[in-house]
Chains A and B, each alone.
Chain A
Amino acid sequence: MSNPIYPELQSVDRIADAFERDGYICSSRIATVVFLAAAMNKPILVEGPPGVGKTELAKTCAAVVNKPLVRLQCYEGLDEAKALYEWKYGKQLLYTQVLREQLGEVLGDSQGLRESMQKLHQFSDVFYSESFLEPRPLLRAMEYAEGSVLLIDEIDKADFEFESLLLEVLSDFQVSIPEIGTIEATSKPLVFLTSNDTRDLSDALKRRCLHLHIPYPTLELEARIIAARVPDLQRGLSEQLVGFVHALRELDLKKVPAISETIDWARALMLLNAQALDERLIHDTLNVLLKYEEDVSATEGQLHQLLRQVTFA
């Protein structure tokens, strides 16, 4: 039933444990979806606000199954030549130069144009063969014989046309190259697509994927994440810190702090050797959490109240 290439992903519980050992605390939902993805050979479309660990999920997964991670960062204008494959034009040019000298020998004593052409036709199309093919991330991920983890990051940034290009890769795990034919994956990679929801993805793409929405974590889960990522932080402080971040998320901010900001802040506080949260400390380090000046100034006025809320809770 389970996928023989990725024995580490055999059951939901094992996945949760393995991920936790690698410092990624995942909710049961995430573990279930990863398990299904491996068992059903389906890509996972991970959605959610920035900084909740979408990319990290793929990285951790690669580490857990101990396979290479192939990453494709999407951006506007990304096309076939950068995502799938390209011909090695330089090499082709070089070879024509070299082969020109061989041409006389090959043609030998053939008479006239027609006979020469016929002789040349007997050779296969060497310039458009796999040795001149430059694999780009998508093709590269297919070529690993032992399996791999393919991360297609921020798919919503890519053009609509690129999505259509992905369909073949994601559903059949194969790439069609007109000059050569179809190249199939020797063993199917685990595919993660991430999206920040800046635009709606096409239904065709969604249909081929398992959908996983990662929201901001609960208080308890985030505390566990901090404990796993910044283990040296004092327990009391880490509770206060998570509580404070949660209170911040309730405010009306331009960019609410995500998990990655919480982790950064926890590290910052550890470096500063802080023992407990106080107004001054928060004031000095708030820029780690909030990335917009207007957010910072809007929050500073309420620091006292927020802090009281956290320390009394």
Chain B
Amino acid sequence: MKDPGSQSLLPFIRFLRSRDLPVSPADTLDALEVANLLGFSDRTQLRQGLGATLAKSASEEQIFADCFDTFFSCRSDLSNPTHEDPPTQAANTITEPLVELAKRQPEIAGLMSQPLLQALRMNDQNTLSLAIEEAALEVDLQHIKLFTQRGQYVRKILDALGESALRQAALELAENEPEAAAALNQYREELRLQVRERVERAYVIHASGDTENFMDEALSHMRLGSIDPHHYQRLRRLMARMVRKLAKRHGRRKRRTKRGQLNLSATLRRAVATDGIPFHPQWRQVNRRRPQILAICDVSGSVATYAKFLLMFIYAMQDLLPRTRSFAFSAQIGEVSDLLETLPIEKAIDQINRCYGGATDYAQALTEFCDSNLHEINSATTVVILGDARNNNGVFRWDLLSEIKARAQQLIWLNPEAKRAWGTGDSEMLRVIKHCHVATECNNLKQLERIVDKLLADSRRS
């Protein structure tokens, strides 16, 4: 389909995708058909029609409407150029030194007859924006990717417009005819501004989404400990998106209790009342185990940030992991589930850090934990320990760790340190690996997502 409709729709759809609106190829085809059916004459109607195929929920509709307005408002400048600025007297006055000069010098007269300068002189916005638009096409402005490319594209478009002749003339005139040069430079500046505006718009439409994605991608691979606080807002948004994704992936498990095998003896027993006719079939109830996660987090200085993000993540999945309990320790250990459930997460974490921060002592923490909670660990429990396994050269209660491993369905150790630092100095990590089902590095958002994904998959399978 090579009609003007598809020409302008495809970039629009690319724009939508960059704004996180998932548009599939099939949706694109539908959108093209809609545009064909409705035509481009009625803007509102087209927006409503496209919205029906491209936006799939009320929130997406909002995004769609914003995108539509941004995208097509730029375009409308082109098709309905403003007639508000008729050639003004002021425009003519700056021309005069040039006109004077043109009478004397034939090459300046030639320059003056150039359509570009003509348009600038007459302030002919129609011709100008058309020319800029053509030049933009010529230099592939739609491929602009980065913020820093804007200057480059402005230059390219100016060159394509033939502005270099004006620059040259201005340079030559500068010595002998400063007035004429000044007038020429004023035109050049005007043109530059317009081109710059056009490039800015192109950047917003074609690239700002990419830059955002680039930032998001970079951030999710950056060590959580080294992310600047001013990125936290974005981090939280990223995390919210991951949570949504995971919730969608794991959310849809329906109850399957009432089905399954026929429980013959129970059925016969109930059939006694109805003279042996089995009116009420009894089913073997699928005995559902209730998965539980115990998260034990080191909140001593070096690991506190990571504990914060892990807890934030787990508590964001509260709907899917309803029986999660969390503990915090440095030396002394304590349950913090209540704090996390009642207070907003930031406040809760602050308070936890105040109560339990300090120097790490795994022996004391594990002993205290096992004293009060070991009996609760069973084959439906997943125990997650977050810590760097640096025990300040103290004793480590390996027996308790083994005990937990034996009882639990899974014992997962998350270490925010990079793998090559494991076992160096006072790190007990290499021995820890042997005492856990899974031991893994966990220091950025991507790894965190993978771990929570695994937790969800495991706990919901059982």
Contacts and interface: CB of A to CB of B under 8 A. Distances in A.
* Interface residues of chain B: helix, strand, loop or mixed (majority): helix
A271 interface: no
B55 A159 contact: no
B52 A32 contact: yes
Given A1-B37, A159-B254, A207-B27, A32 B48 contact: yes
Interface string A179-214: 000000000000000000000100100110011110
Interface string A102-142: 00000000000000000000000000000000000000000
B85 to A, nearest CB: 34
A39 B45 CA distance: 15
A93 interface: no
Nearest to A202: B252
A32 B45 contact: yes
Given A39-B37, A40-B33, A40-B37, A211 B56 contact: yes
Contacts of A36: 34, 37-38, 49, 52-53
Contacts of B37: 1, 35-36, 39-40
Contacts of B24: 207
A12 B57 contact: no
A12 B49 CA distance: 11
A264 interface: no
B453 interface: no
Interface centre among A39, A40, A44, A47 (most CB of B within 10 A): A40
Interface in B17-73: 24, 26-27, 30, 33-34, 37-38, 44-45, 48-49, 51-53, 55-58, 61
A36 B45 CA distance: 11
B30 A40 contact: yes
Contacts of A207: 24, 26-27, 56
A211 B52 contact: yes
A167 interface: no
A200 B57 CA distance: 9
Contacts of B26: 207
Contacts of A1: 37
Contacts of A35: 37
B45 A28 contact: yes
A160 interface: yes
A1 B37 CA distance: 7
A206 B56 contact: yes
B61 A29 contact: no
B52 A12 contact: no
28 contacts: A1-B37, A29-B48, A29-B51, A32-B38, A32-B49, A33-B49, A33-B52, A36-B34, A36-B37, A36-B49, A36-B52, A36-B53, A39-B37, A40-B33, A40-B37, A42-B30, A47-B58, A160-B252, A160-B254, A207-B26, A211-B51, A211-B52, A211-B53, A211-B55, A211-B56, A211-B57, A212-B52, A213-B57
The 9 closest A-B pairs by CB, nearest first: A210-B52, A206-B56, A32-B48, A29-B48, A33-B52, A213-B58, A32-B49, A39-B37, A211-B56
Interface of B: 24, 26-27, 30, 33-34, 37-38, 44-45, 48-49, 51-53, 55-58, 61, 248, 252, 254
